[in-house]
């Protein structure tokens, strides 16, 4: 009998299966990818900017009574005489 024997093919298939299992185990056991440091800094800057805008809006809302005043003046009554 010439050619590959069944045991040789079985061993090769077994090695391939073991290789795939090793790759799958590496994927599972690897730690989660870390977030880049610049992304954290950008998110922190955005959160701080939102906090400052919210603080400014609340201060302006509290100061509104001092800043704004409404004066109501009655409209001038139309004159009784008609102009020619």
Q: Is the pTM of this model over 0.85?
A: no
Q: What angle do CA 32, 36, 39 make, to 5 degrees?
A: 120
pLDDT tens for the chain, residues 1 to 84: 555 555 556 555 555 555 555 555 555 566 788 889 999 999 999 999 999 999 999 999 998 888 788 888 888 877 666 566
Residue-wise over 4-24: b if at least 16 C-beta within 10 A, else e?
A: eeeeeeeeeeeeeeeeeeeee
């Amino acid at each position: 009998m010439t050619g590959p024997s069944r045991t040789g093919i079985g061993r090769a298939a077994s090695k391939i299966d073991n290789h795939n299992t090793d790759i799958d185990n590496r994927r599972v056991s690897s730690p989660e990818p870390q977030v880049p440091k610049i992304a954290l800094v950008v998110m922190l800057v955005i959160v701080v900017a939102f906090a400052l805008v919210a603080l400014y809006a609340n201060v302006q809302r509290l100061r509104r009574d001092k800043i704004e005043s409404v004066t109501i003046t009655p409209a001038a009554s139309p004159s009784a005489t008609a102009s020619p």
